[in-house]
Amino acid sequence: MTETKTRARPAAVALTPNAEARIAKLMAEAPEGAIGVRLSTPRRGCSGLAYSVDYVTEEQKFDEKIETPGGVFYIDGASVLYLIGSMMDWVEDDFAAGFVFENPNAKGACGCGESFTV
């Protein structure tokens, strides 16, 4: 009888230390009942898809689950294919703060950076 070996697959999205720290801060301030934060790509904006990060109150069957030091990060199951190989960072300066995505699947983006096409 041959033995089946499984190996862990890499997460669809890699998180920088800054992104992980931001998730920890969000979870520290999360509303009651939140079990993590979820990244999704709803249809919106002038290019078609946008990045959205929201609190999660229950796991969805096809969500990808990533354990971070500060809390659980979910990726919406329907969005995973648009995000494979992406890097998520948290960037803050004097004028703006937000998650920034380096997505190899994006073929274009709108001028304001709010949405992308695949």
Please check whether residue 9 lies inside any domain of the structure: no
Number of CB atoms found within 10 A of residue 8's CB = 5
Q: Which residues contact 109 (CB under 8 A, 6 or more apart)?
A: 47, 115, 116, 117
> Does residue 11 or residue 92 have the better pLDDT?
92
pLDDT higher than threshold 80 for residue 47: no
- Please check whether residue 55 lies inside any domain of the structure: yes
Q: The tokens 């898809």 sit on which residue?
A: 49
Predicted confidence at residue 63, as pLDDT, reads 93
Question: Is position 111 within any domain?
Answer: no
Residues in the chain: 118
36 domain residue, yes or no: yes
Determine the pLDDT at residue 31: 95
For residue 35, name the pLDDT band (cuts at 50, 70, 90): very high
Collapse the DSSP code of 24 into the 3-class scheme (helix H, G, I; strand E, B; otherwise coil) and give the result.
helix
- Look up the CATH number of the domain holding residue 75: 2.60.300.12
Of 13, 68, 70, which Cα lies nearest the Cα of 41?
Answer: 13
Domain region containing 51: 14-102
pLDDT > 60? residue 62: yes
Check whether 106 has a pLDDT greater than 70: yes
What does pTM read for this prediction? 0.80
Residue 74 lies in a domain: yes
- Number of structural domains (the chain) is 1
Instruction: Work out the average pLDDT over 38-60.
Output: 85
Predicted confidence band of residue 19 (pLDDT cuts 50, 70, 90): very high
